[in-house]
Structure 1
């Protein structure tokens, strides 16, 4: 089964660099059909044109246009969900299975855990069980782990982010997704304490493209394995070219200034 997992990981990671550009598109369950995700065929098609390594979506969206003419992209099926309309929006539940993802031809699955939430114990249990099941099928698992709860004062604090990454690693994830800590030194400690690839989340939509690309560049220089960012990518006014320059930053060590010149900003 390890061979199967290795083959699937090579569909979402560049085999030469060991890094990835993932664009999550699972926001519809959480907040509805927001700008950039109204037409899913167009959205996925633009990510393919830009050269993203993978897209991430809920099971029902796969039929709406994952495989596109003129290109291909890795598929990660997200197994967790909650909505912003709930009184408990941070309480994620499983809404799909590893077997569902296999039937759809997925290259990986993902699970979301919010440490510190009142339902943390259930989310931890779900991640552990999904990781065990996925290991039996040779299916990689991406764990999105954030510190969100009454006791969490700052979800970007280095010690909180490091704890999140370690939880994902220790419960069996093959890739962990966490917020960027804000500086290379503290993020390097997060990466160094984790023996699986660490990718950064995008967080709230940023007003400055430079700030976003700088964050990606800094995270990679600190040892990160790339990014898994949604709104800051698919809502960008020039999203195809943005994905192209992000790929250059992640896979070719393109400088931030050069990336902005290519983007025309």
Structure 2
């Protein structure tokens, strides 16, 4: 990793090598969903909660630039598809690294749907973007999912393969699904030479389960999370971000962080700045 890339990469991680990234690139794929209608407000909330980074498409950067607090990295997303058409799993490049740099990005991200008919195109785009990242000194977060079938999405062998593929294409960070237990996920981590973040998936409302999943992934060697809907669709976006940070960065126990989060919601008071 060159000096420029190393410097920018440090903005994405704590000194202990952990990260809490909040992707908010969903507007292209599914529209302005709950939590994303006022994107500037939501960015401000997760930034106030101590997020290490946010993921956005290029067109929203001017809208949110006043909401990003010092310490929250800007990650510009490079690929897209929509649920309006017949090819939601076909991610295509919609930005260049040069554009992202001009917008002030600390890093860029891309999405690969492995196991789909258009996997070869996505691999090719990813390799070209990784080359651009090396030239510009910009870290690359690869969000890679197994989409060959719903049953395969959390398959440990296939998730491990997809994560390794992303690293071999040049990713500096990899986001993938949690496989369901620490033992199998530890093998995913062992096979990937770059830090791994787990995806949050659809918001499910079971906060204790969410905290438990994150804790298990960390025990298995994950570097943190790249989690969107379970954060920006939560009742208190800043508090959810902050309490996940206590779990990830401060390594609070699941019971401690869950109780603290519930106490905060019950009190109905604003979260102190972190």
TM-score, length of structure 2 as denominator length: 0.93
1:66 offset after TM fit, Å? 3.2
1:218-229 equivalent positions in 2, closer than 5 A? 218-229=216-227
Aligned residue for 2:13? Answer: 13
Aligned length in residues: 263
Aligned residue for 2:62? Answer: 63
Aligned residue for 2:241? Answer: 243
* Equivalent pair of 2:46/2:241 in contact (CA under 8 Å): yes
* Equivalent pair of 1:50/1:241 in contact (CA under 8 Å): yes
Distance 1:67 1:183 in 2: 40
Aligned residue for 2:167? Answer: 169
* Equivalent pair of 2:115/2:146 in contact (CA under 8 Å): yes
Aligned residue for 1:147? Answer: 146
The alignment's C-alpha RMSD in Å is 1.3
1:207 offset after TM fit, Å? 2.2
Aligned residue for 1:216? Answer: 214
1:65 offset after TM fit, Å? 1.0
Aligned residue for 1:121? Answer: 120
Distance 1:70 1:99 in 2: 23
TM-score, length of structure 1 as denominator length: 0.96
Distance 2:67 2:125 in 1: 32
Distance 1:63 1:78 in 2: 14
Q: Look up the SS of the partner of 2:110 in the other structure.
A: strand
Aligned residue for 1:138? Answer: 137
Distance 1:41 1:122 in 2: 33
Deviation larger for 203-212 or 51-60: 203-212
Q: Unaligned 5+ residue runs, structure 2?
A: 264-274
Distance 1:71 1:235 in 2: 23
* Equivalent pair of 2:114/2:148 in contact (CA under 8 Å): yes
Q: Unaligned 5+ residue runs, structure 1?
A: none
Deviation larger for 58-67 or 17-26: 58-67
Distance 1:115 1:153 in 2: 13
1:78 offset after TM fit, Å? 0.2
* Equivalent pair of 1:169/1:194 in contact (CA under 8 Å): yes
Q: Look up the SS of the partner of 2:90 in the other structure.
A: coil
1:41-120 equivalent positions in 2, closer than 5 A? 41-68=40-67, 71-120=70-119
Q: Look up the SS of the partner of 1:109 in the other structure.
A: strand
Deviations 1:176-196 (A, max 9, x none): 100000000000000011110
Which structure 1 residue ranges, 4+ long, deviate > 2 Å from structure 2?
A: 66-72
1:149 offset after TM fit, Å? 2.6
Aligned residue for 1:263? Answer: 261
Deviations 1:99-130 (A, max 9, x none): 01100110111111111111110000000010
Aligned residue for 2:268? Answer: none
Q: Look up the SS of the partner of 1:106 in the other structure.
A: coil
* Equivalent pair of 1:67/1:73 in contact (CA under 8 Å): no
* Equivalent pair of 1:21/1:226 in contact (CA under 8 Å): yes
